[in-house]
Amino acid sequence: MDPETTTGSAEDGIVETDTLVEEVSIDGMCGVY
Amino acid sequence: MTLLESPKAAPGARLVDLFEYGLDAPICLTWELTYACNLSCVHCLSSSGRRDPRELSTEECKAVIDELERMQVFYVNIGGGEPTVRSDFWELVDYATEHRVGVKFSTNGVKITREIAERLARNDYLDIQISIDGATPEVNDAVRGPGSFATAIRAMEHLQAAGFQNFKLSVVCTRQNIPQLDEFKAIADRYGAQLRLTRLRPSGRGADVWDELHPLPEQQRELYDWLVANGEGVLTGDSFFHLSAFGQALPGLNLCGAGRVVCLIDPVGDVYACPFAIHEEFLAGSVRDEGGFQGVWQRSELFQRLRVPQAGGACASCRFFDSCKGGCMAAKFFTGLPLDGPDPECVQGYGEALLAQRDADLERKRPSQDHSHRTTRYSKSGKVPISIGRRPDAVAALDIKPNLGVASAAARRPVNDRMDDPLADFAS
**Rounded average pLDDT per 10-residue block, chain B, 428 residues:** 59 66 88 98 97 98 97 94 97 96 97 97 95 98 98 98 97 98 98 97 95 96 95 89 89 85 96 96 97 97 90 86 90 92 93 79 76 62 41 41 33 40 44
Task: Kindly determine whether residue A30 and residue B262, on different chains, have CB atoms separated by under 8 Å.
Answer: yes
Spell out which residues of chain A touch residue B106, defining contact as CB-CB under 8 Å: 32-33
Q: Which residues of B touch A25 (CB under 8 A)?
A: 251-252
d(CA B21, CA B38): 39
pLDDT at B37: 98
Longest dimension (CA), chain A: 40
Closest Cβ–Cβ partner in B44, B77, B257 for A29? B77
The pLDDT of residue B404: 33
ipTM entry: 0.70
β-pair partners for B196: B170, B235
pLDDT at A26: 79
Rounded distance between C-alpha atoms, residue B113 and residue B418, angstroms: 30
Which segments of B17-148 are extended strands (E)? 28-32, 75-79, 102-107, 126-131
As a whole number of Å, the end-to-end CA separation of chain B is 39
Distance from CA of B350 to the nearest CA of A (A): 25
How far is C-alpha B367 from the chain's CA centre? 14
Which residue in chain A has the smallest CA separation from B23?
A17
Task: Check: CB of residue B78 under 8 Å from CB of residue B105.
Answer: yes
Residues of A with CB under 8 A from a CB of B: 1, 3-4, 6-7, 10, 13-14, 16-21, 23-33
Question: Quick check: B48 contacting A, CB < 8 Å?
Answer: no
CA distance A9 to chain B (A): 12
CA-based nearest distance A11→chain B, Å: 10
Strand order from edge to edge, sheet including B102-107: B194-199, B168-173, B126-131, B102-107, B75-79, B28-32, B262-265, B270-272, B283-286
Residues of B with Cβ-Cβ distance to A16 under 8 angstroms: 15
Residue among B238, B293, B258, B266 at smallest CA distance from B81: B266
For residue B420, what pLDDT is reported?
41
- Flag whether residue B77 sits within 8 Å of chain A, measured between CB atoms: yes
Residue A27: which of B23, B172, B237 has the nearest Cβ? B237
DSSP B234: -
In 3D space, the residue among B290, B198, B179, B212 whose CA is nearest the CA of residue B241 turns out to be: B198
Q: Which of 131-170 (B) contact A at CB < 8 A?
A: 131, 133, 168, 170
Q: Are the beta carbons of A33 and B237 separated by less than 8 Å?
A: no
In b/e form, how buried is each residue of B187-202, taking b as 16+ CB within 10 angstroms?
A: bbeebebbbbbbbbbb
Determine the residue of chain A that is closest to B169 in CA distance: A33
The span from the CA of B182 to the CA of B187, in Å, is 9
Specify the pLDDT at position B126: 96
Q: Provide the shortest C-alpha distance from residue B36 to chain A (in Å).
A: 15
